[in-house]
Structure 1
């Protein structure tokens, strides 16, 4: 099974990620052939598989390394991520993801919600079989709770321009950073890394996730739609006010707030909004904060035990957090 082209330089990781996808595919066991085929399309939709890659790499951190177990844990992490994406698309009423039609677009919201729930069940089925302890399983349950709270916070904050930087960071901490942290921590703890090492892995993943989301939100204003796989300024159109806009709003509420109050913005109003965000250094300041989180992530990475996996972690993290698409 094909993986993203970015893994060509990491042949063993590419092979393991292909097995991750195969394992998820093998757990789609719905009798209805059409529904089964539709869900398998979600599994093979062409994501980068970043989170399971971090699980696989961090699984090499401790004294115990079991490749099959690492692949299973990575599959659980990725299935959890897929489930949140399917539900995200329902909430956002998104027509496309990664350049392809979403489940809610092709099959309706009810189908997509149940499909996302089914993927959640697969994630926990894999975890329950391969987690080394009930404590770790409970940790993953609490992490799922934080992720969903982050999603609920984002939904509740729609079209509310008074969002602070603090509120934004709290939201993405649950919505995005938590899953990166879980990815790294799961690999570390199941490899029998020490508690201190696993804690460094968790913080590394958390900071990576924070930087990743901030960069993603910057790209919503800067990148071409064909690169990011969704319409440019999609978040603003949906009433999701992210860091560049929050920074700019704090400096120029007089001009920006009346635009946002219209909610349904024309192309001209969106153009005016992006001009104001650039003028008030919203994008520049967001990039500075992303750089700070990137530095924190690399600091935590440097505290991990040495080994070939660590070099790959450094290359992958540096590449990912300097991305432009």
Structure 2
């Protein structure tokens, strides 16, 4: 978490309980994989998803901190499992500057390690979570898996539509953000309308977050990101800046970027990646992607005001502010 939550000490304390819950859960792993998984879960980032559970759990009168910590731990474990699987798909040796599980033990063992985290997440659920609909949880997990499969199957296909990209990130990222915001308020047994509102806030927040993350892959700082810029491109994963750039190039009647990608094999050579990054920037792909990310952010902020809860509005608004300044 580093210092990300220093301005929210109560929330930071609760997130430390989430971290402890996750570490205690993973500590039951067998043999040589235990220290590797412990290192993986201890190197978590900002813990955004459990934070969203805890923040929206304030939208009611019940005392549910313990339940919110447990549900936040479940969602974070699912997220951590997806990162392990992501790194296998991307053949990534580093994440946030540290060696990945894939790099340490290879693809076969890493798949099993990710599956272990998913299994432990399911075991943490009691089946009696107050107010929560298990179908919402199942739908989020299903969308996550489907999106990972879709992205893996389409690796190297740079000519996807904006609709396909948005569908992928809706499942890959926004589904867990939506589940997180929904879970907190659902534990309070809030009215369905408020639950749906929080679900939509999380969805828009997740879409904005992932699009911005994809923008940073083209325009971010490698030292701050903890990974090389252009990594998705190198691995054959098309994201929004590229999609917008290819569309603009076609409108201009050109084909330099398109031909460059179609004549290359995955993984792309460093020289090809650098050429593509320059072309995407010059064609306005980064700028257009930033505009769409901002539109999702504004939708979320509009819905947050409808919650009519000053503390939650402040915390979510501050979160957006901090995320918009990251690693640029």
SS of the equivalent of 1:7 reads coil
1:231 and 2:228 matched: yes
Measure the CA separation in 2 of the matches of 1:294 and 1:84. 24
Measure the CA separation in 1 of the matches of 2:256 and 2:29. 56
Partner of 1:157: 154
Partner of 1:200: 197
Contact preservation (8 Å) 1:294, 1:321 = no
Measure the CA separation in 2 of the matches of 1:158 and 1:37. 31
TM-score (norm 2): 0.94
Measure the CA separation in 2 of the matches of 1:308 and 1:31. 38
Measure the CA separation in 2 of the matches of 1:318 and 1:154. 30
Contact preservation (8 Å) 2:236, 2:268 = no
- 1:304 corresponds, among 302, 307, 314, to 307
Measure the CA separation in 2 of the matches of 1:194 and 1:310. 18
How much has 1:21 moved relative to structure 2?
A: 0.6
User: Residues 240-291 of structure 1: CA distance to partner in whole angstroms, max 9, x if unpaired?
Assistant: 0110110111122511111112124333322221221112111111111111
1:269 and 2:269 matched: no
Partner of 1:139: 136
Pairwise mapping of residues 177-188 of structure 1 onto structure 2 (< 5 A)?
A: 177-188=174-185
Measure the CA separation in 1 of the matches of 2:212 and 2:193. 29
How much has 1:130 moved relative to structure 2?
A: 5.3
Partner of 1:255: 256
Measure the CA separation in 1 of the matches of 2:269 and 2:275. 10
1:169 and 2:166 matched: yes
How much has 1:196 moved relative to structure 2?
A: 0.8
User: Residues 154-178 of structure 1: CA distance to partner in whole angstroms, max 9, x if unpaired?
Assistant: 1122111221111111111111100
Gaps spanning 5+ residues in structure 1: where? none
- 2:44 corresponds, among 25, 43, 46, to 46
Instruction: Give RMSD over aligned pairs.
Output: 1.6
Contact preservation (8 Å) 1:256, 1:276 = yes
Contact preservation (8 Å) 2:221, 2:327 = no
- 1:281 corresponds, among 279, 284, 287, to 284
User: Residues 44-66 of structure 1: CA distance to partner in whole angstroms, max 9, x if unpaired?
Assistant: 01311011100100111123231
Q: Which moved more, 1:49-58 or 1:262-271?
A: 262-271
Partner of 2:55: 57
Contact preservation (8 Å) 1:7, 1:13 = yes
* Count of aligned positions: 322
Q: Which moved more, 1:62-71 or 1:177-186?
A: 62-71
Measure the CA separation in 1 of the matches of 2:275 and 2:90. 23
Change (3 A) 1:76 1:257: same
Contact preservation (8 Å) 2:211, 2:293 = yes
Detail structure 1 runs of 4+ shifted over 6 Å in the superposition.
none
Contact preservation (8 Å) 1:221, 1:274 = yes
TM-score (norm 1): 0.94
Gaps spanning 5+ residues in structure 2: where? none
